[in-house]
């Protein structure tokens, strides 16, 4: 049997069993996660207690009506975001501002308080097998937009989106992370898992992202995001509930 024939046979076997490498996974990777919190983020204390160093800078999303603080890692960041009455809401973005308010009130509104952003790893802009839409705002770099994967009228799902290239440079992210030293000792986010209530029916974009292996998805009691750092080399975990719908593994 020739070498070329053996390789062709192997390729057919992989396709038949569904084990072929997903080339799509090379085009997308996790960028950051945000959690909607109370104004000025008093929930930050829970992160500080477990050993995270929080950036002292407050980010104002002009036109969007929100503000946030971040915890920086070598390849990603965690963001606590809240509606801020001192930050402007641009014409046409009032609906977006209201969505953020409803996400902040997730315990009573039923909305998901979690947003998960991804970044492209190639220069191509591939299309998706489902409808998407774009959001622009004054705080974004000129000419850029956030590509939204969650349907515009969805009031139950997490916010799933693709960050603009101008905000998702891995070199710049590593440089920001170098300014901080987390007492807990973590460096890189190596896995992300989203837990949804059992009554939630996953939307197509979420199922698609799970198939790309850029995020794990499972059902549980309530909305929760799990971040694994450094491959969970120390086999430890911390549950930040009820302050935050967050579990960390490291």
Domain boundaries, the chain: 24-182
The fold adopted by the segment(s) 24-182 is 2,3-Dihydroxybiphenyl 1,2-Dioxygenase; domain 1 (3.10.180)
- Cβ–Cβ under 8 Å, residues 53 and 183: yes
Q: Write down the pLDDT at residue 223.
A: 98
Q: Write down the pLDDT at residue 126.
A: 74
Task: Compute the distance between CA of residue 203 and CA of residue 156 in angstroms, rounded to an integer.
Answer: 10
Question: Where do runs of H (alpha helix) occur along the chain?
Answer: 3-17, 44-50, 94-104, 106-109, 170-177, 204-211
- Would you state the structure tokens that stand for residue 48, as one six-digit string? 């500080």
Q: Write down the pLDDT at residue 9.
A: 35
Report the DSSP pairing between strands 59-61 and 66-72. Answer: antiparallel
Which of 188, 171, 183 lies closest to 227, judged by CA?
188
Give the helix, strand, coil percentages of the chain, each rounded to 5: 25, 30, 45
What is the signed CA dihedral for 197, 195, 41, 171, rounded to 10 degrees? -150
Report the DSSP pairing between strands 59-61 and 28-36. Answer: unpaired
pTM, two decimals, is 0.89
Alpha-carbon distance values, 109 to 98, 99, 101, 154 (Å): 12, 10, 10, 13
Cβ neighbourhood burial of 240 (10 Å; 0-12, 13-18, 19+):
middle
Q: Write down the pLDDT at residue 1.
A: 43
Alpha-carbon distance values, 43 to 38, 98, 221, 245 (Å): 7, 21, 21, 11
Task: Compute the distance between CA of residue 68 and CA of residue 104 in angstroms, rounded to an integer.
Answer: 12
Q: In what order do the strands lie in the sheet with 159-162?
A: 59-61, 66-72, 77-83, 28-36, 114-120, 159-162, 146-148, 133-135
Q: Write down the pLDDT at residue 26.
A: 53
**213 φψ region: left (φ > 0), alpha (ψ -120 to 50), beta (else):** left
| Ranges of residues in the chain whose predicted pLDDT is under 70 | 1-26
């Amino acid at each position: 049997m020739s070498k070329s024939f053996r390789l062709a046979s192997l390729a057919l076997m992989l396709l038949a069993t569904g084990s072929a490498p997903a080339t799509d996974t090379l085009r997308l990777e996790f960028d950051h996660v945000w959690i909607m919190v109370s104004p000025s983020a008093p929930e930050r204390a829970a992160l500080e207690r477990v050993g995270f160093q929080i950036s002292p800078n407050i980010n104002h999303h002009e036109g969007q009506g929100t503000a946030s603080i971040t915890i920086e890692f070598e390849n990603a960041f965690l963001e606590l975001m809240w509606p801020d009455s001192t930050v402007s809401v641009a014409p046409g973005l009032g609906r977006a501002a209201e969505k953020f308010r409803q996400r902040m009130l997730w315990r009573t509104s039923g909305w998901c308080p979690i947003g998960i952003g991804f970044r492209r790893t190639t220069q191509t802009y591939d299309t998706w097998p489902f409808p998407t839409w774009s959001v622009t705002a004054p705080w974004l770099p000129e000419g850029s937009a956030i590509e939204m994967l969650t349907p515009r009228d969805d009031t139950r799902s997490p916010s799933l989106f693709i960050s603009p290239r101008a905000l998702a440079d891995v070199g710049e992210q590593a440089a920001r992370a170098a300014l901080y030293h987390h007492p807990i000792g973590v460096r890189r986010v190596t896995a992300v898992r989203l837990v949804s209530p059992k009554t939630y029916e996953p939307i197509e974009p979420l199922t698609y992202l799970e198939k790309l292996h850029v995020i794990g998805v499972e059902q549980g009691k309530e909305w929760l995001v799990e971040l694994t750092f450094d491959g969970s080399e120390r086999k430890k975990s911390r549950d930040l509930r009820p302050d935050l719908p967050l579990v960390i593994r490291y």
